[in-house]
Structures are given as C-alpha cells and as structure tokens.
Amino acid sequence: MAELQDLLGLVNYWVFIVLMMVGFYVVIAQGNLIKKVVGLNIFQVSVFVFYISMGKVDGGSAPILDEAVKIYSNPLPHVLILTAIVVGVATTALALALVVRINRAYGTIEEDAIQAIEHDEEDLA
C-alpha cells in the first residue's frame, strides 16, 4: 500500500519522464523538421514540469507572505522556469525561422529529401 502511494505520489515525475522520452523520441525519429521542433518543445516542457513539481512542498501554500500561512512552497524553481520558458520560446522561434529558410532554399522540409539533395551536391563538388 505504501509502495502504491509512493508510486502515485510521484505522478508528476512519471509525467516528466514520459513526456521527456516522448519528446526525445520525436526529435530523433521524425524526419519532418517542424515535427522535430514540436518534439523538442515537448522535451523542454517536460523539464518545466520537473522543476515546477520539485518546488512543491507538502501542505505548502503559494509563496505569498500571509500571517495565516505557515508553510510555503519553494518559489525559486518556478522563477527559474520562467527564464527557461523564455529561452525555450527563443529557441523555437529561431528553429522555425530556420525551417522557413530551409523550405525556401530546398523546397522541402523532409530530412530525407534534404539529405538526398545535399548528397547529390557533394558528388558534384
């Protein structure tokens, strides 16, 4: 019973690991450059979930000073994740901008097709 509680109590961490693996798999396995960015986003969001879960203190309230409240959750990981979200947004924007330019230059955003084109170019060079 205690084990089951542990298992359920750690549900956030299970979600983190599942999301992380899903994201990571999509990044590796997908050949479409946009889908890779989607995978990368899922991967990054899993880390946000991880940090935010880590800041939770059992029975703690939101970290706003109040005389009635004795225990607060740890606000630091949340603040860190605000920064990480900004970084994530910047990365996504840049990745999508690159995909747009790749599409203009190659006429495709499928990795296999791009690799075939690049391979031909190398033979010519």
Partner 1 sequence: MIEALSHNMTASDPWLILLVVVPLLSAPLCILLRSGIAAWSVATAVSWVVFAIALYLLNTVMESGTMIYRIGGWDAPWGIEYRLDAVGAFVIVIVAAIGAVVMPYARQSVAAEIPAERHYLFYAMMMLNLSGLLGIAVTGDAFNLFVFLEISSLSTYVLISLGSDRRALTAAYRYLIMGTLGATFYIIGVGLMYQMTGTLNISDLATIMPAVAETRTILAAMAFLTVGISLKIALFPLHTWLPNAYTFAPSVVTIFIAATATKVAVYILLRIVFTVFGQVDIFAHFPIQPVLMVMAIAAMFLASLSAIWQENVKRMMAYSSVAQIGYMVLGVALATETGLTGSIVHLFNHAIMKGAAFMAIGAIIFATGAVTIKDLEGIGRRMPLTMAAFVVAGLSLIGVPLTVGFISKWQLVSASLELNMWPLAALIVLSSLLAIVYVWRIFEVAYLRQPHITEHNPKIVPLSMLIPTWILALAGIYFGANATFTLDVAHAAARQLMGGL
Site residues (vs partner 1, CB under 8 A): 20, 24, 27, 33, 36, 40, 43-44, 47, 50-51, 54, 76-77, 80, 83-84, 87, 90-91, 94-95, 98-99, 101-102, 105-106, 114, 118, 121, 125
Q: Which is nearer to partner 1, 1 or 83 (CB)?
A: 83
User: 91: Cβ–Cβ under 8 A, 6 or more apart, which residues?
Assistant: 40, 44
Q: Phi, psi at residue 65, to the nearest 5°? A: -60, 125
CB 106 within 8 A of CB 117: yes
Q: Which is nearer to partner 1, 61 or 74 (CB)?
A: 74
Burial degree of 39 (CB within 10 A; 0-12, 13-18, 19+) = buried
Shortest distance, position 67 Cβ to partner 1, whole Å: 23
Shortest distance, position 68 Cβ to partner 1, whole Å: 25
Q: Which is nearer to partner 1, 22 or 54 (CB)?
A: 54
